[in-house]
Amino acid sequence: MQKHRWAVFAAAFLVAGVAVAAAFAGPNRSTAGKTFYFIPKDTLNPYEVIADRGGKIALTQLGDTQVVQSGTEDTAAAQQPAVQAAIQARAAGIVIAGNDPDALCPALKQAQAAGTHVIAFDSDVSCRELFINQADTETIGRSQVKLLAKLMGYKGEFAILSAASTATNQNAWIKYMKLELKKPAYKNMKLVKIYYGNDNPAQSRQATVAMLQAYPNLKGIESPTTVGISSAAQYLSTSKKYKKKIVLTGLGLPSQMKKYVHDGTVKQFALWNPEDLGYLAGYAISALSDGTIKGKVGETFKAGKLGTYKIVLGPDKRPQVILGPPYVFDIKNVDKFKF
């Protein structure tokens, strides 16, 4: 459904026939100029900033406008004003990283009823038309355990340092971590507790200290969040007691983690390119608003420099698009990446 800003609605209505035809003409279409709201988990997380930057690059290429708005805390309540702002602005689309799968659904459904398309990226919500997934959810969860186990020698106690307890992506990955741990190969490994740092550096550092004090035999920390792993690494790197004695891995930004790799605090960690994730989401929401795709399994769309992507069925039986497998970073390659 073609959607324009309210300020130009009357003019757009008069040339509706031309606009509909042009909507399928690609990046140079005469209907360019729509506004899309990107609503990250919060506006302070460097990962989210990089992902939103990718969205801006994509929408700029298409001639559209990106508005980034969210709270500074990793909660659904902090995102609520941004959804309302998108509704008031009659935005063509919303791209949201969910802090909670359900809490914002009343507002998001209100937006959809008004003609605003909604997709989720990075962290899913239950009331969207399409999810842009950074990588296969099961692959991420299981691969994190495999990487940790290799670094721990397949034995010892470890804890998980997650983001918010309601974060959809974190909980989905942890679910598959636990399933992977049931395999015989991990019989000598024990998950002692899951801690939550709420993607806040200070809280993540406090959680790291708490787990080390609570479990004196702790051998490893798995943190599937960029804020968590960087905060834990910062603490461990300055501790004579724990540096190089605690195995730390998870999902991190090379730009933040490379110093901890070089000083020996971290040997390996993983992630995808968050800028590419935002870029893919930008092209997806544009294609959805144009009517190029309807969000149905089997449909394909072009995503600029990333090529053509296909909508597939997710494990929850809903449509999703997968960016691709994560990278593993170590001292040999971490300096090659700029994100």
Q: What is the pLDDT of residues 200-211, one digit of tens each?
A: 999 999 999 999
Q: What is the mean pLDDT of the chain?
A: 91
Same domain, 111 and 27: yes
Number of domains in the chain: 2
Please indicate, yes or no, whether residues 146 and 199 belong to a single structural domain of this protein: yes
Q: What is the pLDDT of residue 8?
A: 33
Is the same domain home to 240 and 160?
A: yes
- The residues, ordered by sequence, that sit 6+ positions from 248 with a Cβ below 8 Å of its Cβ are 220, 221, 223, 229, 232, 233, 236, 265, 266, 269
| Domain presence at residue 182 | yes
Whether residue 214 sits in one domain with residue 129: no
Query: Do 189 and 249 have their domain in common?
Result: yes
Q: Domain for residue 201, yes or no?
A: yes
Residues 217 and 318 occupy one common structural domain = no
Is 184 domain-assigned?
yes
Within-domain flag for 175: yes
- Does residue 149 sit in the same domain as residue 124? no
- pLDDT recorded at residue 243: 92
For the cut 50, the answer to whether the pLDDT of residue 240 exceeds it is yes
- Shared domain check, 10 and 130: yes
Residue 148 lies in a domain: yes
Phi and psi of 176, rounded to 5°? -75, -25
Task: Give Cα 283 distance to the centre of its chain.
Answer: 16
Which residues constitute the domain of residue 69? 6-134+274-329
Asked if residue 149 and residue 254 are part of one domain, the reply reads: yes
20/172 Cα distance (integer angstroms): 39
> Is the predicted pLDDT of residue 9 greater than 70, yes or no?
no
Closest C-alpha to 120, from 111, 129, 110 = 129
Boundary of a domain, candidates 251, 270, 289: 270
Question: What does the pLDDT look like over 178-228, one tens digit per residue?
Answer: 999 999 999 999 999 999 999 999 999 999 999 999 999 999 999 999 999
CATH of the domain at 314: 3.40.50.2300
DSSP three-state, residue 34: coil
pLDDT at 154 over 60: yes
pLDDT beyond 80 at 29: no
What pLDDT is attached to residue 6?
33
pLDDT at 22: 33
Stretch 304-310: mean pLDDT:
97
**For 28-67, b where at least 16 C-beta lie within 10 A, e where not — what string?**
ebebbebbbbbbbbbbbbebbbbbbbbbbbbbebbebbbb
How far are the Cα atoms of 222, 247, 312, 316 from residue 266, in angstroms, in the given order? 11, 7, 35, 34
**Mean pLDDT, to the nearest integer, of 55-81?**
96
Whether residues 24 and 130 fall in one domain = yes
Has residue 337 been placed in a domain? no
Mean pLDDT over 63-83 rounds to: 96
User: Whole-angstrom distance between the N-terminal and C-terminal Cα of the chain?
Assistant: 35
